[in-house]
């Protein structure tokens, strides 16, 4: 008997897609606009996917409008304001799927589209069309264990969408998220900042945020925060008569001793020595 051992060597994106089995299908069904749809922009903390089955209309998403027609697939990221509207005389009908616990490399929790990609996909790929058809058959027939069948087919569909449409998102989105985090730290360095807080502001999961930040900037978010606090403390040491303790607390450190320890580790002198050095330098001038 002979056999071949195949090593698994997945990319970071493939590894995150491999975790799709952990996603939760919150609810699903088929709906038709009968004049009772929400008339205001709204958002959810989960991802939504629609298969447009009939009718035409628009998807308002944040400040943009996209056309929806039969056979298009619509993806609405979590925490995104949106509103679906039918055209007069052509009421929209679609299958809908609410998805939770979805985490894909390079995207925020329950999000799989970049900010520059259209949420309305025109999919001519044969695999995508076949999976859509299988999902709709399971949805309509409601046979044995059909929710599990719908979920499993939906996972395969998301993988195909990634291969054909979604994975084209480039590093500009990552840089935008990094800018959001840095700006927030720059404006709030004196306050207590947590990883959860940064995650919420940037819409990036905690575990991914630290890796992404270090990948692009070369340091962790908290190293960046410490650097910011130390730079601000140097300005206060040079330009004010505040005590070392007052400066430590003013820039966000919990104690004078910890501030002095970090300062000396970074600059090889104590905060007081730095202050005196600067005073002597300017007096000589």
Asked if the model's pLDDT at residue 2 lies above 50, the reply is: no
> Would you state the pLDDT for residue 118?
79
CATH fold group of domain 12-168: Jelly Rolls (2.60.120)
Decide: helix, strand or coil at residue 205: coil
> Would you state the pLDDT for residue 282?
47
178 CB-near residues (< 8 Å, 6+ apart): 212, 213, 216, 217
> Tokens 């905060």 sit at which residue?
271
> Would you state the pLDDT for residue 200?
72
* E strands in the chain: 24-32, 47-54, 57-61, 64-68, 72-76, 82-86, 93-100, 120-122
Work out the mean pLDDT of the chain and round it to a whole number: 82
Cα 30–Cα 63–Cα 173 angle in degrees, nearest 5: 90
Asked if the model's pLDDT at residue 32 lies above 60, the reply is: yes
> Would you state the pLDDT for residue 19?
63
Checking 64-73 for CB contacts under 8 A at 24+ apart, the result is 66/118, 66/119, 66/120, 67/120, 68/92, 68/120, 71/122, 71/123, 72/120, 72/121, 72/122, 72/123, 73/49, 73/120, 73/121, 73/123, 73/128, 73/132, 73/161
- CATH for the 171-285 domain, from 3.30.70.1450, 1.10.599.10, 1.10.10.60, 2.40.70.10: 1.10.10.60
Tokens, residue 76: 């609405």
**Of the candidates 196, 161, 200, 20, which has an alpha carbon nearest to the alpha carbon of residue 100?**
20
Mean pLDDT (whole number) for 3-12: 41
12 band by pLDDT with thresholds 50, 70 and 90: very low
Mean pLDDT (whole number) for 254-273: 93
Domain ranges in the chain with CATH number 2.60.120.280:
12-168
Of 58-72, 169-183, 196-210, 215-229, which range is least confident? 169-183
> Would you state the pLDDT for residue 132?
92
Mean pLDDT (whole number) for 113-137: 84
Domain ranges in the chain with CATH number 1.10.10.60:
171-285
> Would you state the pLDDT for residue 1?
40
In tens, the pLDDT along 156-177 reads 898 888 776 655 444 445 677 7
Q: What is the dihedral of CA 158, 97, 209, 79, to 10 degrees?
A: 140
Mean pLDDT (whole number) for 119-139: 87
Mean pLDDT (whole number) for 267-280: 84
Asked if the model's pLDDT at residue 7 lies above 80, the reply is: no
Decide: helix, strand or coil at residue 42: strand
Which one is predicted more confidently, 3 or 217? 217
Exposed e or buried b for every residue in 113-144, given b needs 16+ CB within 10 A?
bbeebbbbbebeeeebeebbebbbebbeeeee
């Amino acid at each position: 008997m002979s056999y071949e051992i195949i090593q698994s060597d997945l990319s970071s994106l493939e590894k995150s897609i491999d975790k799709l089995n952990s996603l939760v299908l919150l609810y699903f069904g088929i709906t038709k606009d009968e004049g009772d749809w929400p008339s205001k922009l709204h958002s959810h903390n989960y991802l939504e996917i629609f298969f447009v089955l009939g009718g035409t209309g628009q998807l308002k998403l944040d400040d943009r409008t996209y056309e929806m027609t039969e056979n298009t697939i619509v993806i609405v990221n979590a925490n995104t304001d949106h509103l679906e509207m039918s055209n007069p005389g052509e009421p929209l009908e679609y299958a809908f799927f609410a998805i939770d616990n979805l985490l894909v490399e390079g995207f925020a929790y329950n999000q799989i589209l970049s900010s520059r990609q259209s949420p309305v996909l025109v999919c001519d790929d044969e695999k995508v069309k076949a999976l859509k058809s299988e999902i709709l058959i399971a949805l309509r027939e409601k046979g044995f264990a059909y929710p599990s069948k719908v979920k499993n087919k939906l996972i395969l569909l998301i993988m195909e969408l990634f291969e054909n449409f979604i994975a084209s998102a480039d590093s500009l989105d990552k840089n935008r998220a990094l800018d959001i985090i840095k700006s927030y730290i720059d404006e709030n360095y004196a306050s207590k900042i947590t990883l959860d807080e940064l995650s919420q502001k940037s819409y990036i999961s905690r575990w991914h945020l630290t890796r992404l930040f270090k990948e692009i900037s070369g340091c962790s978010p908290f190293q960046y925060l410490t650097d910011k606090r130390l730079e601000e403390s140097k300005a206060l040491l040079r330009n004010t008569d505040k005590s070392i303790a007052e400066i430590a607390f003013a820039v966000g450190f919990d104690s004078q001793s910890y501030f002095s320890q970090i300062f000396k580790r970074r600059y090889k002198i104590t905060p007081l020595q730095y202050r005196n050095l600067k005073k002597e330098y300017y007096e000589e001038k």
